[in-house]
Structure 1
Amino acid sequence: MKRLIAGLSLLCLAACSAPLRGTGDLGLVVERADGRLQVVESTHSTRLATISGLGDLSHASLVYSRDERFAFIFGRDGGLTKVDLLEARIVKRVVQSGNSIGGAISQDGKLVAVANYTPGGVKVFDSDDLELVADIPAIGADGQRSKVVGLEDSTGNIFAFSLYESGEIWLLDMKDRKNPKVRKYPGIGKQPYDALVTEDGRYYLAGLFGEDGIAMLDLWNPDKGVTRILNHYGRGAEPLPVYKMPHLEGWAASGNLAFLPAIGRHEVLVVDMTTWKEVGRIAVAGQPVFAMLQPGGRRLWVNFALPDNGKVQVVDVPSLKVVKTLEPGKAILHMEFTPRGERVWLSARDSDQVTVWDTETLEQVAMLPAAKPSGIFFTARAHRIGL
């Protein structure tokens, strides 16, 4: 009995001495070439662990569970992988299609939806065990199967997405998982290539590559259908070469102004969200890919496609002027702000590093080696709509 008590005491001491960690300052960095993730923490800008075996991460994105402990990674090879940040391990991985392009998590955190290119459609999984809940083929009004792009979460466990070839927007209502409901909006424009849901959950906006303009669906008033806004937005009468499509989830809003990366042009468009009309343009160093506001909305950060993808420009929002041009490394693919915006992390794929910058002084404060890094995702995303 004494030996048993002593053994239990030792176990208790070992458990009590194990370090405890919350999830609020954690994040993941995608190392695209090696199918690997880095688990990082933002307070001290350090790497905690790595997780391998995630397949093709060449266009990977991810979402978080509402408790921030688990991430769901969408790989280009059709893989959906659930990882545990605290234990730095894969919980489960399923290859659910031949080619996927991102996904979303429902408002209640119980469902994960994946957008698929091959075959076109959306699959929805239970977030606990990754068991298939719904399989929605994307067959448009033309009778053809279409790639799915711009899959976003909205309120009420509704997912919104676009059909690239068919030119449609669909709403997938998953309130009753045993009886999914799909509402279709055909004829929204040619080749929707990406989309976003505004942070208040009201508007779904799909950019069009085949013609100028943006298709907008008011999710508060879906009976009104899809309307066209910013009819000038696109490649214009004299199309320029597009070296990388803008990422619409990188659009930013400060007050009543939205900032949109122009397609193929060296400009960021400024839009009044009360009228959805253009009110200005900001000349920048190249074709913008992401135009992202740091928390608080005072400064806008912009990165670029080739041949200017080694630069990042910082724009002062009140004056709409570029205040500094940074050169943080080769091929800046992604930017991510810490939850309160005091720092920004930048992935430099061709420099094999992630750099961390003070957003007030605009000086570099840290550098982490990383193998061909791309996306950077902090757990604060778990509490935002449309990410």
Structure 2
Amino acid sequence: MPTGDLGVIIERATGTVQIVNTTTETTLAKIDQLGDLSHASIVYSRDERYAYVFGRDGGLTKVDLLKQEISNRVIQSGNSIGGAISQDGRYVAVSNYKPGGVKIFNSETLELVVDLPALGRDGQTSKTVGLVDAPGQKFVFSLFDSAEIWVVDLASGQPKVTKFYDVGSKPYDALISPNGRYYIAGLYGEDGMALLDLWYLDKGVKRILPDYGKGEQRLPVYKMPHLEGWAVAGNRAFVPAVGRHEVLVVDMNTWKQVGSIPVYGQPIFVMARPDGRHVWVNFAFPKNNTLQVIDTETLQVIHEKQPGKAVLHMEFNPRGEKVWASVRDENKVCIYDTSTFEQQKCLPADSPSGIFFTNRAHVIGL
């Protein structure tokens, strides 16, 4: 079975995942006993055979997509919030809330290789967030409680940790640019974002987008946007505004806002089709039944559809001819043609949330 055709859908309410084929648009298997998947994410081995599932209960599960079974599973903490896989595929790192810190495992055996308690400069243990992989055998993550960003270099096989302090109040999530150069953390405690240039660590962290954040918005924030949902098209980033019905346009050369696009609700994921021509947007409660499509040239909304209640996540086929959308409260995943916007079919799924295709194995930060 070709692994490049495969993907995994999280079924959050039942602790199960579906293995799907993206070419035939069919479900191949369902695997259970993966624990609490209420905020689960997935990374893939380099050969696309294994999915590493990070559960909210601290479970790290290695799923064999070809044998369609759990290969290995460890409970590595009390509460985890995502993970990453190293550039060479040798290490899997997990970000933890309780106890705070990052643990790094051998991807073959799931044996613990490095344990990094997140003890901040202020002496308190912090939740860790925004964990991503970076070129040069690095992992990067933020300390929510201690306002720090740590870079872990594993090129020598032994961890070398570089720490940056006072990066801004309560970094809550982060992303890495598609080329792996810029690490950007959102700040829950203040407006603005923290940017670290991984090419020039000696320059330290600088603040960008000083008006980005909750500020004095008139709308309640039902859900903070996922920063990994930023869309990049050319030299511009399309960013979900916090507490506003807008998608912001950012010039990535200057890291300044150059525009804003009115949208249906508070955006959560703002995702670019692989060719960068269109951006698809979903929204927070109570307007989470809708998808909108933005033309990246005209900066206009060109299409809108209502797949159903609680559209939580989207994933493009590797070359972008289709997009899959999870509709949690209607127990389905719907597939759309990205040229015609027509619905192709829907697959049944139990409270689906995240959708992860195996081409992510070859993408930095995913």
1:191 aligns with 2:170: yes
| 2:245 maps to 1:266 | yes
Deviations 1:305-343 (A, max 9, x none): 011000010111111111111101110010000000000
Partner of 1:100: 80
Residue 206 of structure 2: aligned partner: 227
- What is the match of residue 9 of structure 1? none
Preserved contact between residue 217 and residue 243 of structure 2 (Cα < 8 Å): no
**CA RMSD, aligned part only?**
0.7
What corresponds to 2:189 in structure 1? 210
Task: Give 1:206's aligned amino acid.
Answer: A
Distance 1:239 1:74 in 2: 35
Is the counterpart of residue 149 in structure 1 residue 129 in structure 2? yes
Partner of 1:86: 66
Choose the corresponding residue for 2:90, options 96, 110, 113: 110
Kept after mapping to 1: 8 A contact 2:182/2:195: yes
Please list the CA deviations of residues 150-171 of structure 1 after superposition, one character each: whole Å capped at 9, or x if unmatched: 0000011100000001111000
Normalized against structure 1, the TM-score is what?
0.94
Amino acid in the other structure paired with 1:260: V
* Contact 2:217 2:244 (C-alpha < 8 Å) held by counterparts: no
2:299 is equivalent to residue 320 of structure 1: yes
Query: 2 CA distance for matches of 1:220 and 1:41?
Result: 38
Of 240-249 and 372-381, more deviation after overlay is shown by 240-249
Please say if 1:128 is aligned against 2:112: no
How far apart in 2 are the matches of 1:301 and 1:140?
Answer: 38
| Residue identity in the other structure for 2:353 | S
- Offset of 1:239 from its aligned partner? 5.7
Between the aligned partners of 2:203 and 2:125, the Cα distance in structure 1 is 26
Q: What is the aligned residue count?
A: 366
CA distance in 1, matches of 2:286, 2:129: 26
Report the Cα distance in structure 2 between the residues aligned to 1:323 and 1:81, rounded to whole angstroms. Answer: 40
1:62 to partner: Cα distance? 0.6
Moved over 6 A (4+): none
Partner-residue secondary structure (3-state), 1:350: helix
Farther off after superposition, 232-241 or 191-200: 232-241
Describe the shift of the 1:133–1:43 C-alpha distance in structure 2 as closer, same or farther (beyond 3 A). same
Q: Tell me the equivalent position of 2:27.
A: 47
Where do 5+ consecutive residues of structure 1 fail to align? 1-20
SS in 2 for 1:382: helix
Residue number among 140, 150, 163 corresponding to 2:120 in the alignment: 140
Structure 2 length as normaliser, TM-score?
Answer: 0.99
- Say if 2:282 and 2:291, in contact at 8 Å, map to a contact too: yes
Quote the Cα distance in structure 2 between the aligned partners of 1:326 and 1:193: 30
Distance between the aligned counterparts of 2:240 and 2:166, measured in 1? 24
Q: Indicate which of 252, 270, 276 corresponds to 1:297.
A: 276
- Partner amino acid, structure 1, of 2:86: S
What is the CA–CA distance in structure 1 between the aligned matches of 2:225 and 2:319, rounded to whole Å?
25
Paired with 1:52 and 1:97, the residues of 2 have a C-alpha distance of 20
Corresponding residue SS for 1:34: coil
Deviation, 1:181, is 1.2
Q: Secondary structure at the match of 1:354?
A: strand
Q: How far apart are 1:237 and its partner, in Å?
A: 3.1
Structure 1 counterpart of 2:7, one-letter code: G
Identity level (%):
64
Aligned residue among 331, 335, 360 for 1:356: 335
Task: Kindly state the Cα deviation for residue 176 of structure 1 after the two structures are TM-superposed.
Answer: 2.8
SS in structure 2 of the partner of residue 381 of structure 1: helix
- The CA distance in 1 between the partners of 2:197 and 2:172, in whole Å, is 19
What's the secondary structure of 1:24's corresponding residue? Answer: helix
Letter paired with 1:377:
F
1:59 to 39, 47, 57: 39
Alignment-mate amino acid for residue 185 of structure 1:
F
Contact kept? 2:292, 2:301, Cα under 8 Å: yes
Displacement, 1:25? 1.1
Q: 1:75 matched to which residue of 2?
A: 55
Matched residue type, 1:319: T
CA distance in 2, matches of 1:99, 1:227: 30
SS at match of 1:249: helix
Partner Cα distance (1:342, 1:159) in 2: 32
Larger relative helix fraction: 1
Rounded Cα–Cα distance in structure 2 between residues aligned with 1:45 and 1:82: 23
Specify the SS of the correspondent of 1:385. Answer: coil
How far is 1:180 from its partner?
A: 1.1
1:142 partner SS: coil
Aligned to 1:24: 4
**Structure 2 Cα separation of the partners of residues 266 and 159 of structure 1:** 33
Alignment of 1:6-25 (within 5 A): 21-25=1-5
**2:13 counterpart SS class:** helix
CA distance in 1, matches of 2:71, 2:333: 26
For 2:323, give the aligned amino acid: V
The partner residue of 2:149 within 142, 153, 169 is 169
**Larger of the two Rg values belongs to structure:** 1
The 3-state SS of whatever aligns with 2:253 is: coil
Summarize the Cα distance change of 1:158–1:73 in structure 2 as closer, same or farther, 3 Å threshold: same
Provide Cα deviations, 1:229-287, integer angstroms capped at 9, x if missing partner. Answer: 01011112346311011000010111111001001110000000011110000000000
